[in-house]
Structure formats: C-alpha cells, structure tokens
A and B are shown apart, each in its own frame.
Chain A
Amino acid sequence: MSDLFKKALQLITGDATSDGTTLKMPKKHLFRKFSERELIQLESEIGAKLFGPIPKGGRREFFCLDDRTWIWYEEAPHPQTGELVEATTRYEIHDNGILKVQGGSRYNFIEGAEFDNFIMAAGLYYEQVMRGVYKRDPRSGKMLA
C-alpha cells in the first residue's frame, strides 16, 4: 500500500471514529463546522450502509477519495479466532476500466457483474451523499427544498 494512500485512508478511518461515535450533522449551518476530512467521514457513513448490515463487532468504510479513486475498508472479527481481520480495496477508475487493488500487490480489472455492481454502488453513493450530506439535488445541484 503506498504511503499516500495509507495516509489518506488513515485520515478517514483513523481515531476520530474508532471510539464508536459518529459525526452528526447539525441542523443549522450545515457545513460550517466540518473539514473536508469530516465530510468524507459523513459520506462514508452513507457509503457503508449501501452494502447491507455491518457484521457485529465489525466496521466498514466506503467512500470516494477523489474523482478516480474509491475505497472499501472492511474490518470484522474472524469467525473462529475472534481476531480482527481487516481488508482494504482500492478501486481506480482508468479510461479503459476499473482496476481493483487489494493488499498492494493483487490487482485486476473488474468485469461483468462486479463491474455493474460497482457502478451501481457509486451511483447510489453519489445520489444519497448529494442529498444526505450536501442537501443538493444530485442532477441539478440545486438546494433541496
């Protein structure tokens, strides 16, 4: 895993949420108290819910890091040993496909149903984040009534 990527992931999944608390959107002055990092955390809370319930004792992050990079982070206790097992997957959007990178050395272009599912997940993420975090219509960008 590259240092840059590791640092970015740590920024998002780091200490701020490790105590089990989550960021709450205040009702007034929606965005004034959030840094970009915190906004990504808010986005990731929505992203994590797109894929169903998180296993007990586990943790999931799914967020758009930049226009061409999406991150999936999953942490769950091993069913037999109980030890926490973590996995990070990075999806890179290239002009000729989506490259899935796992563990730094395993990588492949996703295809078929996996490709379709990723596109669907990214679309749902964009739709829900634009509405839920930024209070904007995802198509027009106009403020939601």
Chain B
Amino acid sequence: MSQEQFTPPYFDQSPSSDGTRFETNDEIYLRESQLASIEEARVRLAAALASGPTEPAVSPEEVIAVSEEQQRLEKLPVVIGWGGTLVHARAVFGEDKFDLTQDDELTQDMFGPAA
C-alpha cells in the first residue's frame, strides 16, 4: 500500500466558512481566485467608466450597409415565390386539363385554399 493511501483526507481540509464541513485547499483557492477576478473586473469597469464613451466597433455606415443587404436578402423568397407560381401556372394551363370557367378550382390550385 502506498504512502499516499495512508494520508488522512482531513489533513488537506479546512473548515468551510459556515463551519458545517471541511473544505479542501482547492476550494479555498478557487474562492479566493474568484474574489480576485471580481475585484479585477471592478477595477476594469471603473477604468472604463472613467475613460468616457468608446468608439463603436462598427461604423454607422457599415450598419446601414448591413441593413440594406439584409433587406435585399429578404426579397429573395418573394422572387422564388413568383417563379414557383409561374411554373405552376404553366403546368396548369399547359396541360390542358382545367376548364377555365371553373375559376375557383384553378385559383385554389395556383394559390392555395382561400384564407
């Protein structure tokens, strides 16, 4: 049996802050490092506030350009819809299987059932 297995676990422990249990040195280190991180964040926040407003990462022109591009892309499904309707119209009319007087059926076939 190795020396390591004989080491009592509580040697590596200290009481927890509320006294209900022992906590390991690793946990204590973690708690302290978290506090250090919080403190560091506070310092950085204070410095950022003191330095005033910062330059935006993206210029207003770039925001407008992206917005315009987005608006363009939103038109694509509309164009695809037009194409789909035309293709369907050709299939309907080209096959000569619908009576044009039956307008409701044809309309429904091309554009779907009425809402």
Contacts and interface: CB of A to CB of B under 8 A. Distances in A.
Interface of A: 29-32, 34-36, 38-40, 43, 64, 66-70, 93-98, 111, 115-116, 119, 122-123, 125-126, 129-130, 134, 136, 140-143
15 contacts: A34-B94, A38-B94, A39-B94, A64-B82, A64-B83, A67-B80, A70-B83, A93-B76, A97-B73, A122-B79, A126-B85, A130-B85, A136-B110, A141-B85, A141-B111
A30 B100 contact: yes
Interface of B: 69, 72-73, 75-76, 79-87, 89-91, 93-96, 100, 103, 106-107, 110-111
Please report whether the interface of chain A is mostly helix, strand, loop or mixed according to DSSP: mixed
A130 B111 CA distance: 12
Given A31-B100, A142-B107, A67 B94 contact: no
